[in-house]
Structure 1
Amino acid sequence: GLEFEYGDTDCLTAELSELYSYTEEPEFALNRACFEEDFRTQVKDRKWTELDVAEQKAYVMRLLDALEVTNRDRRLKVARAILYLAQGVFDECDTEEDVLHWSRHNIFLLHGMGTFTALLELLSMEIDNNQACSTAVRKPAISLADSTELRVLLSIMYLMVEMVRSEAEDNKPEWRTARETFKAELGSPLYNGEPFALLLFTMVTKFCSMNAPHFPMKKVLLLLWKTILFTLGGFEELQELKVRGRERLNLPPLPEDSIKVVRSMRAASPPASAVELIEQQQQQKRGRRSRRPLVKQDSLDTYGERDPFKNDEARDEEEDGDDVDGAIEGEVDPLDRDTIIQPPPPPPPLPLQLCPPSERLSFPKGLPWAPKVREKDIEHFLETSRNKFIGFTLGSLTKMTFLALTWFAAIFHIFSLLFVDQGEEEVEDTPIEILYQGMLPNLSQYVIALLKLLLAAAPTSKAKTDSINILADVLPEEMPITVLQSMKLGVDVNRHKEIIVKAISALLLLLLKHFKLNHIYQFEYISQHLVFANCIPLILKFFNQNIMSYISAKNSICALDFPHCVVYEMPELTAESLESGDSTQFCWRNLFSCINLLRILNKLTKWKHSRTMMLVVFKSAPILKRALKVKQAMMQLYVLKLLKIQTKYLGRQWRKSNMKTMSAIYQKVRHRLNDDWAYGNDIDARPWDFQAEECALRESIERFNNRRYDKSPGGEFAPVDNCLQSVLGQRVELPEDFHYSYEMWLEREVFSQPIQWDELLQAQ
């Protein structure tokens, strides 16, 4: 399998290099020139690395004062000088490690001087720069020059967030304190009463509405992703939040960490398919093995696992003779070899007490996952068992008698009424809660904008005249005129799209996981918006390509990556060197993006029959099976999960023709109580009205949002005053003309209305 370590991010140098496009490479020297021009006027015959901290702080304070000048060109030069500091004063460094060291040192210095707040004010000014927006809208072709100011500001802010977020061996105590302070600032209502992430979401929606086509979307998305990752936490923090949450609710601890379980999976051969098991049993009965060489053949033909949905014309380039199911990591197909060599007979086994510990073999005692069960599954099992063996049902009874359940329902109903009457719910102002409240009014716009960008960056999407232009911050002012320049730009454009997909996929996955952990209805709300915005077919469209080519894409030029390009001399680039690319086996960001998109698809469809049927309707099974060619355990796990939930809807013939896939699902995917994925009932497989399921969920979500976040005084869940004295004691302002019609009102509303005094007294 591929030696891929799935985590929150790639290594630090890779994350920093992806911030810049290759067309921005000349601007590194421009940033250095702006810094040195100003620095020489203040400090003569000395370098930045030779100053003490007090002198460095004094110079940074001078730069921050210069940011407030009205001259736009002067502000840009000062911002470039600050960017050079954040980039690690690379002209004074000899190695990449030195650049990272001074970059981290300078960024913590900039943060302590309040630089981020100053940059935030400038960024808001550039976002609201109507003149720049209107000019960009009218221009027929937008290039790198139209987003200069925004790119400089966003680059500084990204470097600050990423360098402060990332841990280092030379961490100082004051740096750890500054990290927590910066994290709290970003997650709090920092800008206009809203967290910083909402400002970036606004930029995304403004760009997708074509009101600001010059916005550098790649930098915005990267900064948005890293801000969410920093303020809310990554996969390890999520696991810790789960553990603490279960402890707070007195729930049993988690049986395992999913990511750690997948990492521990070895390349051990999975259970054989049914055909293989029968053949092995027959060979054992006959007591002989075949030693003759076998001719290599297509194992899909052998097991009848042909793809019924595959279009021969569209898939000719993918028919490379590889076995789709045989690509499952660790699965050894005996027919995928030219010859089978019989191993020598093993020596007779020693008694167990004589075997040294190093020679004892330890085999796994079971499947890697602990089985799970929901209360709904237990209720369904008891209901079915009672109906089958006793002949009657008692409803959803597990541990309580019917009388106790009735009393509990009545008490809960009364409590819910009292809870509503008492007013608003107490909600802790955590960073994720603050973010949800800020996103709530425009959540649909944010989701649609992100999916538009994902569609535009997908390799399967074709360029259309009405589609949004995501290449504004990668295209140079002057288009290439030589073959080498064209090849370099082509690599840059493909790399640019891959980074956008990486940022969006990681961002959506983090939002889904954090919202689900914070409150299930917050997760369901953003999930429904994603589903209604066609996220499921979009992800399937993304995977409907030669996924192996995408995983192994070589859209990078190592010599141009930061900080390598600013430390070492630039080698001569040739067409041959660009075509060969690097020597890596796979592209980390593309494999990372694929796993993220599969995880998003799993979260959207889990326990949702209507969305599972969407996978069936869009014929996702052959698309997902082709993704199993990627021999990586994490990716294969989530592909098999998606196949498992729809197997009972694909029919008996599909299951018979895909026994090796079924065997892999059995070995690698968690099992649950009454799990009928392997056979499925015809009744369960018949389509029914799934729209009611989504509508009922939508009603529950709206009630939750109204109860928790509706601040209007006339809202359905507004606080109610039930005290008779306080209600009657309130002074009510009557209109001026009320006394003219007071007698008519008494006659109509009081005297002429019959009052049932007996019923009223009995009610009291």
Structure 2
Amino acid sequence: LFTSFVELLSMETENTAAASIAIRKMAVSVIDSSDLRLILSVLYIMVEVMRSPLDTESDEQRHNRSMFMEDLVTPLVGDEILPVILFSMITKFCSGSAPHFPMKKVLLLLWKVVLVSVGGLRELQKKKNEVREKYGLPPLPEDTYEVCKNMRASSPPTSAADLIEQQMPRRAFRGGKRSSLDNDPFENSNGEDNIFNDVDGNARQSSDEDTPPTPPRPATPTVVHQKTLPWKPKVRQKDLEQFLDTTRMKFVGFQVKNDLASLAGLPHPIHEGVKVLKEHLYISLTEIQIKREEEIAKNPFSKPETDVANSPVEILFQAILPNLPQYMIALLKILLAAAPTSKTKTDSINILSDVLPEVMPLTVLQSMKLGIDVNRHKEIIVKAISGLLLLLLKHFKLNHVYQFEFMSQHLVFANCIPLVLKFFNQNILSYVTAKNSIPCLDYPGSVIGEQPELTAETLESGDNQPYCWRNLFSCINLLRILNKLTKWKHSRTMMLVVFKSAPILKRALKVKQAMMQLYVLKLLKMQTKYLGRQWRKSNMKTMSAIYQKVRHRLNDDWAYGNDMDARPWDFQAEECALRACVDRFNQRRYNPHSADPDFKPVDTCLHSVLGEDIDLTEEFKQNYERWLEMEVYSNYIDWDQVINC
């Protein structure tokens, strides 16, 4: 049944008649994609049901689910797998050749297909520890989600106007004076009810005159938590090598390459420093993969690559590799059109073709319902694209770092960094707390029980949640994508500085959610050394939050700005060198015909190809001497010229 619906989907995507009708229409509506939406809905239900295993799952059900996951990365129609079919639908939609494609359903199905076939982020964490164990490395020191669960969100940095408003009531009554040293910058609780508070982060308190004195009650025992850093500090091998090179040049006068053990001639405090650095040394899979690629480039015959696993991630990357730049551009185009900050233009793509009715609403109630539905439609598109991009980036990085770098470079070339910054250049607190939903029409209430009458009151009455989980999920995903693109990349970090991302990111700290604040602070940390001393001086609360919540690199001078390598031409050379390594990797692994034939291995064994008996035809045997006389002996050959060529 699943294969049949995939075939139907492929047939509908190649339906040129429906596409030509949609192109000629002035406004494409939901009627033009009724068949496609039905097929995509059935496929989505199948994928979503198979994604979540049952608590009491039998062996047969487990086997069927594993077979279904294999079918998702197996060519079912021609030579294309289902993700490639969906990606091609996105590119056709963005090119204008198929404006009637329902993009929301296509993106949701594509995201869930990738999620089921390669696994979610929890499965990725387990795979990463398994691969690290394979290379003899210790497991990951922490789980990001567990750390963020126990992390308390901090108060957002206040502006000058907020500081004046805070100081005015304090001057009125100063009965209980409290030292500023007792104030914890992480003052709100971890409960969801206090995630969104006032902008200054202070709860509203009444004066002592309004509240009667409460009788004393017995004290309850409190659990004292030891104040420690949430993350274990890390040191890269590159940082340790730079530290040893600098100290050896200072105290000994020469450097010793690729030697991390000998400390002869160095003072005792340096010995202790090296010991601390080695205790926190973290070797990533990226470093191992890059070192392996360097060995293959130097010794292509003695150390060839023979351990390429045919995993679902590898199959997916091979399938989307030829058209990956077009796929990334198409996704970012749709993300730009769905962003709340984007303005409606005549030349932009129409992502509302599967939500706008054929006849526009005539009453105010219908217009309000359509407006809510349009905003919800855009939010779902942003959620699907952000989840898909983050999932692909993380899985490609685990599979091979140069697959991740290939996708990252094309995202950067397609202006993903300024696009994400433009997305956050809005009232992000209002976006996260927006309620573009109608509870009485949400599933499963829309199909269970008696349906209430749709009135203005039911439209305005929303749920009691203080935030929209969908928008919060999208914001965290986009911040993580931005971190993935800019981490350890000086040229891309300078892009954050050039596009003036610091005030945009500081406004995002108003959302008092621990994980979102963590990734905002990471983005601010990597560019503090380029923002200048005055910025750091006037943003000490943000600097303190970075120190308390972001992982420490023991020899990283992020807070001081002593970066001597901040030269644009060095950054450009670094980006070009990375691109050359990525191109060499793709040519070697995925384009075997590009190699020089003179350097390919030749079979000279007499027992294999050269020892085979070849049956010659009678016609060839009879005319062999004549062929030699005409083609070989009669033709003059300048052997000197042949040798010189």
Aligned to 1:549: 430
Q: Take 1:206 and 1:233, find their aligned partners in 2: how far apart are those partners?
A: 27
| Cα RMSD for the two superposed structures | 3.6
Corresponding position: 1:364 with 2:226:
yes
Partner of 2:161: none
Please show how residues 293-692 of structure 1 align to structure 2 within 5 Å: 293=174, 323=199, 326-327=200-201, 359=221, 361-399=223-261, 419-420=300-301, 425-681=306-562, 683-685=564-566, 687-692=568-573
Indicate whether 1:739 and 2:620 are aligned: no
Residue number in structure 1 paired with 2:193: none
The 1:559–1:158 alpha-carbon spacing in structure 2 relative to 1, beyond 3 Å, is same
TM-score norm. by structure 2 comes to: 0.81
Question: Following the alignment from structure 1 to structure 2, what is the Cα–Cα distance between the partners of residues 269 and 623?
Answer: 16
Shift, 1:582, TM fit:
2.6
SS at match of 2:447: helix
Give the SS at the match of 1:665: helix
- Paired with 1:591 and 1:575, the residues of 2 have a C-alpha distance of 27
Shift of 1:266: 3.8
Which segment is superposed worse, 235-244 or 258-267?
A: 258-267
Q: Separation in 2 of the partners of 1:628 and 1:438?
A: 39
In the TM superposition, residue 429 of structure 1 has moved relative to its aligned partner by 1.1
Q: Aligned partners of 2:175, 2:349: CA distance in 1, in Å? A: 54
Deviations 1:60-119 (A, max 9, x none): xxxxxxxxxxxxxxxxxxxxxxxxxxxxxxxxxxxxxxxxxxxxxxxxxxxxxxx11111
**Retained in 1: the 8 A contact 2:154–2:514?**
no
CA offsets per residue over residues 578-614 of structure 1, 9 Å max, x none?
Answer: 2343322110100000000000000000000000000
1:138-179 Cα offsets, whole Å, 9 max, x none, are: 111100010011000000000010012123445444322221
Distance in 1 (alpha carbons) for counterparts of 2:450 and 2:337: 35
Quote the offset at 1:218 in angstroms: 0.3
Q: Take 1:495 and 1:414, find their aligned partners in 2: how far apart are those partners?
A: 51
Q: What is the CA-CA distance between 1:391 and the residue it aligns to? A: 3.2
Quote how far apart the aligned CAs of 1:674 are: 0.9
Tell me, yes or no, if structure 1 residue 229 matches structure 2 residue 131.
no
* CA drift at 1:366: 1.6
CA drift of 1:120 comes to: 1.0
Q: Residue 397 of structure 1: CA displacement?
A: 2.8
CA distance in 1 between counterparts of 2:421 and 2:13 reads 34
From 156, 167, 172, give the equivalent of 2:53: 167
Does structure 2 conserve the Cα–Cα contact (< 8 Å) formed by 1:215 and 1:472? Answer: yes
Cα distance, 1:573 vs structure 2: 1.7
Answer whether contact 1:119 1:157 (CA < 8 A) is retained. Answer: yes
Cα distance 1:653–1:168, how it changes in 2: closer, same or farther (>3 A)? same
Name structure 1 gaps, 5 residues minimum.
1-114, 273-288, 300-319, 348-355, 402-410, 755-764
Aligned partner of residue 12 in structure 2, secondary structure: helix
User: Does 1:126 find its partner at 2:12?
Assistant: yes
* Structure 2 residue identity aligned to 1:572: E
Match 1:212 to one of 95, 98, 101: 98
Is 2:491–2:568's contact at 8 Å kept on the other side of the alignment? no
Corresponding residue for residue 45 of structure 1: none
**Cα shift at 1:265:** 1.6
Q: CA deviation at 1:339?
A: 6.5
Q: Secondary structure at the match of 1:564?
A: coil
Residue of structure 2 in register with 1:199 after alignment: 85
Equivalences for residues 226-305 of structure 1 within 5 A? 226-266=112-152, 292-293=173-174
CA contact (8 A) 1:421 1:717 kept: no
CA distance in 1, matches of 2:533, 2:323: 45
Structure 1 contact 425–708 (Cα < 8 Å) conserved: no
8 A contact 2:157–2:506 mirrored in 1: no
**Displacement after TM superposition at 1:134 (Å):** 1.1
Q: Any conservation in 1 of the 2:479–2:520 contact (CA below 8 Å)?
A: yes
Structure 1 window deviating more from structure 2 (741-750 vs 216-225): it is 741-750
Q: Give the Cα separation in 2 of the matches to 1:134 and 1:594.
A: 37
Q: Secondary structure of 1:260's partner?
A: helix
Paired amino acid for 1:708: R
Shift of 1:434: 0.3
TM-score (norm: length of structure 1): 0.69
Give the letter for the 1:366 counterpart.
T
1:383 and 1:394 in contact (8 A); partners too: yes
Q: In the alignment, which residue of structure 2 is the partner of 1:157?
A: 43
Aligned length: 569
- How many Å apart are 1:381 and its aligned residue? 1.0
In 2: Cα distance, 1:390 partner to 1:421 partner: 38
- Contact 1:137–1:213 under 8 Å retained in 2: yes
Please tell me whether the aligned partners of residues 208 and 452 of structure 1 are also in contact (alpha carbons under 8 angstroms): yes
Deviations 1:699-734 (A, max 9, x none): 000100011010326557973227497999999x99
